[in-house]
Amino acid sequence: MCGILAVIGKRSPEEVQKLSKRMSHRGPDESGVHVSPSGAILCHERLSIIDLTTGRQPIQGTKNAYVMHNGEIYNHMELRQGILKNHKFRTTCDSEVIVHLYEQYGLDFCNKMRGIFSFVIIDDDNEKYMVGRDPIGIKPLYYGKDAEENMYFSSEMKSITDQCVEFEAFPPGHYYTPETGLVKYYKPEWQDYKVANKPVDLNQLRDALIDATRVRLMSDVPLAVLLSGGLDSSLISSITKRLLRGTKQELHSFSVGLSNDAPDIKAAREVAKFIGTTHHEVFFSVEEGIKELEKIIWHIESYDVTTIRASTPMYFLSKYISEMGIKVVLSGEGADEVFGGYLYFHNAPSAEEFADETVRRVNLLSTADCLRADKSTMAFGIEARVPFLDRRFLDVAMSIRPEDRMPKRSEGRMEKYIVRKAFDDKNDPYLPQTILWRQKEQFSDGVGYNWIDQIIAHCNSKVSDKEFATAAKLFPYNTPATKEAYYFRAIFEKFYPQPSAIKTVVKWVPKWQENSDPSGRANTMHEQAVTK
């Protein structure tokens, strides 16, 4: 995991390197730069995970093509030993396979990779370049042009906001060259409702998630698990612990909350004891969260309410993990989008609308949970891996007919019912029954209900009625609907006032409920609903 910045045009290497250093938190281990004869500049801030000694980037291919990559290619050994077996490699780094795939297949290779990535390839021999982003957008990437028509590609906005006249998020599942423009390479069949009609096979579903977790254990540094005590992170933690059976590797787990009796803290404690991890509990106060809000918004580059609510505890958790020297964590993001786990999915009017909403949510993950997970952890140089968003797992899970995936309370089917059933092993339990069948608790709620309640109260005290009345005039795009949203937006625009920056943010809003508050407790299905 790293930070990448490419400038195609006429800028001095020294200037570009200074811009790259704005995101040095993404790659605290070392830096690399390549300046091509045509003037293209690649700057790389490296977080060393695979090949700690020779994996410095940019990496040269067989001839004069260079790659710079942020992410992990989990099937890099399979590629090296298979379709790239005749290539000579300079390193053992997973990133190097990208430039060799380019040399062998031209532009048509992104679907051969199983992993997460944003990359830039400079082909000095042909004076060409190529840029690509992973299918779901787990790794961030932005692109734009300055007044002199120089092109910029960056892992974070902060390196380019004051350089580009216009910029935007690079779309997931696409690659770009000047000759082709944007090309969508990721076209899974499950995006068509009529094709996603397979009855659930619980064994296949379970095996696919175990396999997706297995490939994410690839690391030359210690790894750990984020354990909120919810179904998703608990399953990933349990699977990881099982996969490490017979090894000497100690598995650390981490949870975060406001106090000892926070819902997630208590549930995570129960899971950690059950599966046998070395468990750590991290606490933060509402006052500490409020104090760090500006720094957090600068890091995550968003003014979305639910993103900021959830990023704050994840920021404190990541700081603690980093101080322990751990660089890789597995997490449970994506399951709620794939299986309709948010409580508002109980109100889906039909199976077709349920299916459409899961596809929409998966397609928007790069603006929400993936953005939050990446930037909250990478603020401290930590790589987050998300098995639920593995492309092979998605092919299995998203192809299951919506009638099997959707919750049906009248029939006793709670949210993510088929995931729970797939791992309900009575002979060798993955989780305690109290956790396996625990109601969905959104992360920003589970750290302690006071967090959201008090952050709302704080924002209400800081934004007067008179100020809030100017919201539409002051913020005509994505106008804040609450004082909390107003407060966050004002902080965001202190750092990122450009219209292009404002338009990169997509607000997370639930469907099919009476209000638009993203908290799970705003839905009447929640056991502690504030609407009751």
Q: What is the pLDDT of residue 422?
A: 98
In CATH, the number for domain 2-186 is 3.60.20.10
φ, ψ of residue 389 in degrees (nearest 5): -110, 15
58 preceded by a cis bond (ω within 30 of 0): yes
Q: What is the pTM of this model?
A: 0.94
Q: What is the pLDDT of residue 219?
A: 81
Domain spanning 191-522: CATH 3.90.76.10? no
pLDDT digits (tens, 9 = 90+) for 51-93: 555 556 789 999 999 999 999 999 999 999 999 999 999 998 8
Confidence tier at 450 by pLDDT (50, 70, 90): confident
Is 2 an annotated catalytic residue?
yes
Catalytic residue among 2, 43, 164, 459: 2
User: Which residues lie closer than 8 Å to 338 by C-beta, 6 or more apart?
Assistant: 358, 362, 388, 389, 394, 397, 398, 405
Cβ contact 327:382 at 8 Å: yes
φ, ψ of residue 252 in degrees (nearest 5): -95, 140
pLDDT digits (tens, 9 = 90+) for 275-334: 999 999 999 999 999 999 999 999 999 999 999 999 999 999 999 999 999 999 999 999
Comparing 450 with 253, the larger pLDDT belongs to 253
Q: What is the pLDDT of residue 44?
A: 87
Give the Cα separation of 315 and 139 in Å (integer).
Answer: 17
Please check the confidence at residue 370 and state whether its pLDDT lies above 90. yes
Q: What is the pLDDT of residue 27?
A: 78
Please check the confidence at residue 516 and state whether its pLDDT lies above 90. no
Closest to 435 measured CA to CA, from 423, 447, 448: 423
With tokens 């299905």, the residue in question is 525
Q: Across residues 391-407, what is the average pLDDT?
A: 96
Cβ contact 521:530 at 8 Å: yes
Average of per-residue pLDDT values in the chain = 92
Q: Across residues 198-212, what is the average pLDDT?
A: 97
Confidence tier at 31 by pLDDT (50, 70, 90): confident
- Alpha carbon 6 to chain centroid, angstroms: 22
78-85's contacts with Cβ under 8 Å and 24+ in sequence apart are 79/112, 79/113, 83/112
pLDDT digits (tens, 9 = 90+) for 76-85: 999 999 999 9
Structural domain boundaries in the chain: 2-186, 191-522
Instruction: Extract the tokens encoding 180.
Output: 């082709």
pLDDT digits (tens, 9 = 90+) for 212-234: 999 999 887 788 999 999 999 99
Closest to 237 measured CA to CA, from 255, 222, 260, 259: 255
Q: What is the pLDDT of residue 532?
A: 41
Q: What is the pLDDT of residue 210?
A: 98
Please check the confidence at residue 526 and state whether its pLDDT lies above 60. no
Please check the confidence at residue 49 and state whether its pLDDT lies above 80. no
φ, ψ of residue 347 in degrees (nearest 5): -100, 10
Instruction: Extract the tokens encoding 158.
Output: 């902060």
Q: Across residues 488-517, what is the average pLDDT?
A: 92
Instruction: State whether residue 142 is helix, strand or coil.
Output: strand
Kindly state the helix (H) or strand (E) to which residue 31 belongs, with its residue range: strand 30-35
Confidence tier at 443 by pLDDT (50, 70, 90): low
Instruction: Extract the tokens encoding 360.
Output: 């929409």
